């Protein structure tokens, strides 16, 4: 692995210019999406935005819906809400399955006593 690629994989924060280049959109568009979709990138002491990978993933979903799939801003907001609800339901279902598995294991242990 080269030094440059190793630095990129270890990077925790990205500047707005780096994110702008990544998505090939203006920084002003990113700031607009930040306000419209309530994104909260961290800011340094100077007030410069610093985006985490999670912020970039959220922005990717927005850019994909608006630019690639042609959604309006309102339509994109609704799609993101649906996605959040379905992912929450999926997580709940996974937790329930894990708890049932733990319960079954505990019952086996109890029967062995």
CATH number at residue 26: 1.10.1660.10
The number of folded domains in the chain is 2
7 burial via Cβ count (<10 Å: 0-12, 13-18, 19+): exposed
Q: Which structural domain, as residue segments, surrounds residue 94?
A: 74-113
**80/46 same-domain check:** no
**1/56 same-domain check:** yes
C-alpha–C-alpha distance, residues 53 and 78, integer Å: 23
pLDDT digits (tens, 9 = 90+) for 41-75: 999 999 999 999 999 999 999 999 998 899 998 98
pTM, two decimal places: 0.63
Length, in residues, of the chain = 113
**1/36 same-domain check:** yes
**57/23 same-domain check:** yes
| Residue 46 DSSP code | T
On whether the CB atoms of residues 33 and 19 are closer than 8 A, the answer is no
Q: What are phi and psi of 50, to 5 degrees?
A: -125, 120
Whether residue 6 has pLDDT greater than 60: no
Q: What percent of the chain shows pLDDT beyond 90?
A: 57
> Could you tell me the two tokens for 49?
């935005």
Whether residue 99 has pLDDT greater than 60: yes
């Amino acid at each position: 692995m080269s030094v440059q690629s190793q630095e990129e994989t270890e990077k925790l924060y990205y500047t707005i210019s780096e994110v702008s280049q990544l998505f090939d959109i203006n920084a002003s568009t990113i700031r607009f999406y930040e306000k419209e979709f309530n994104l909260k990138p961290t800011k340094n002491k100077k007030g410069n935005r610093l985006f985490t990978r999670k912020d970039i993933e959220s922005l990717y979903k927005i850019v994909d819906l608006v630019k690639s799939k042609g959604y309006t801003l309102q339509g994109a907001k609704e799609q993101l809400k649906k996605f959040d609800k379905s992912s929450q339901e999926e997580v709940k279902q996974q937790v329930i399955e894990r708890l049932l598995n733990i319960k079954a294991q505990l019952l086996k242990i109890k029967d062995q006593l």
